[in-house]
Structure 1
Amino acid sequence: MKVLLIVPAYNEEENIVRVCNNLRENFSQYDFVVINDGSSDNTLKLCEDNHFPVISLPVNLGLAGGFQTGMKYAYRTGYDCAVQFDADGQHLPEYVKTLIKEIENGSDIVIGSRFVTKKKPFTMRMLGSFMISTVIKLTTGRKIKDPTSGMRAFSKTVLKECAEKVNYGPEPDTMAYFIKQGKKVEEVQVEMTERVAGESYLNFSRSIMYMLRMMISLIFIQSFRD
């Protein structure tokens, strides 16, 4: 199976070399491409200086735009599976094989979940995840334990849909939509680390807005998607 790791990156100059060197040196069985999402720091220069495969967007399109760019590239260049992989160092590439195995076993989407065999802590940080999981359960009948995980693998069928349709982003509402469409969505246990350097785009206020947007989409908008 031909696999591409899609690495969206926005202002990740403190992490991108370490993350990509790890992929290149220790996980060379996987191809990867950095999607530089209009970074204003040295992310693009570092990718070019280190000869990392990179697609550079002229403006910041956000995670959805970077994700879809990567999915289009993967589909048009003949990959059988794409894996969404964060540039901040929190995702561990040793779990990619586990996700791919589930794709080979017939799953359409595989989520790298922190909470398959481990209990989700009830903290303010996880409150949004609890709420999104609950709404997905109510609207689809399916329990997704880690809906906000950014580590996901996609089969060629889903890869094609995400590449060709503009409203398919890497968000929990899209996962819920695929479940409603009959796609096989599975979760596998993974471990994730804390961000080593740099700052997350999602500060407290943005996290609240993100949660509200997801709730509105899951409850009201998903019924009208086509």
Structure 2
Amino acid sequence: MKELLVIVPAYNEEKNIVGVIDELKRDIPEADILIVNDCSTDNTLNVIKEKEVDYITTPFNLRYAGGVQTGFKYALHKNYKYVAQFDGDGQHVAKELAKLYEIAKSDECDIVIGSRFLEETDYNHAFFRKIGTSIFQKIIKMACKREITDPTSGLQVLNRKVYEKYSKINNYPEYPDANLIIEMLLQGYSIKEAPVKMKERIYGESMHTGIWSPISYMVGMFYSIFLILIKHKRLKN
């Protein structure tokens, strides 16, 4: 068993997951791979089986956070030192993940986030996502006195202390983005960003497509952040 486990949640990613697995095997061979097939209704499961990679199939659709948390529980059971979150839609780049892993080891920080915005890239950030990112950047700076340029990045490397916490019930919200970053910073965990490149999704649709999904996401995120800040203030008092 290796020191790093890469957790790849996949829901109906039959057209993307082959490339993701092949890229991870080629560009970060020092890691084990776990595909969490989140009760896909397409051919994702059969594709995963053909690639001879470790996988878990959930009994029903747990959505993104539930799928990733399933991976955390697996990592805890197997006693990995680090875990990485890596999307199954083909947007994340394995070579960039390898850089984050080296930083996590050398700098001994709790969370390393791959940022699309620390350096200039050609990544096309959707209009509403761009607005949301800007708002969350400002909230984090106000609440935590920290500059986090990419609070919605799902490309992260976590040490055991962090992913063990995330594996527990109620510790990993449905949308684990700016809200979770704020909570972890306020609790004293060390977070570092590193510049990465990402790709555009080729097949399928993002969970944030449409009109209502982004609205629901923003409302849920603001509510979650509000509760975290209230809880932190009460604990300080």
TM-score above 0.5: yes
- Residue 222 of structure 1 deviates from its aligned partner by 4.2
1:26-76 CA distance string (max 9 Å, x none): 432211100111111111121113222111101111111011111111121
Aligned letter for 2:145?
Answer: G
Residues 13 and 222 of structure 1: is their aligned pair in 2 closer, same or farther, counting only changes over 3 Å? farther
1:133-172 CA distance string (max 9 Å, x none): 1122222222211001110110111122112343224322
* Conservation of the 8 A alpha-carbon contact between 1:113 and 1:146: yes
Unaligned runs of 5+ in 1: none
Match of 1:145 in 2: 149
Residues 29 and 131 of structure 1: is their aligned pair in 2 closer, same or farther, counting only changes over 3 Å? same
Q: TM-score, normalised on structure 2?
A: 0.88
1:92-122 CA distance string (max 9 Å, x none): 0001222112211121001100011238979
What root-mean-square deviation, in Å, do the aligned CA atoms of Structure 1 and Structure 2 show?
A: 2.0
* Conservation of the 8 A alpha-carbon contact between 2:9 and 2:64: yes
Aligned letter for 1:41?
Answer: D
Pairs within 5 Å for 1:94-173: 94-104=95-105, 105-118=107-120, 123-169=127-173, 170-173=176-179
Identical counterparts, % of pairs: 37
Establish whether residue 197 from structure 1 lines up as the match of residue 199 from structure 2: no
Distance 1:175 1:8 in 2: 20
Unaligned runs of 5+ in 2: none
Pairs within 5 Å for 1:173-184: 173-184=179-190
Count matched residues: 226
- Residue 182 of structure 1 deviates from its aligned partner by 0.4
Q: TM-score, normalised on structure 1?
A: 0.92
* Conservation of the 8 A alpha-carbon contact between 2:7 and 2:35: yes
Distance 1:122 1:16 in 2: 23
Distance 2:39 2:145 in 1: 38
Distance 1:171 1:8 in 2: 16
Aligned letter for 1:223?
Answer: I
Distance 1:163 1:10 in 2: 20
Secondary structure at the aligned position of 2:207 is classed as: coil
Aligned letter for 1:47?
Answer: I
Match of 1:207 in 2: 214
Match of 1:72 in 2: 73
Distance 1:141 1:7 in 2: 32
Higher deviation after alignment, 31-40 or 129-138: 129-138
Aligned letter for 1:4?
Answer: L
Match of 1:85 in 2: 86
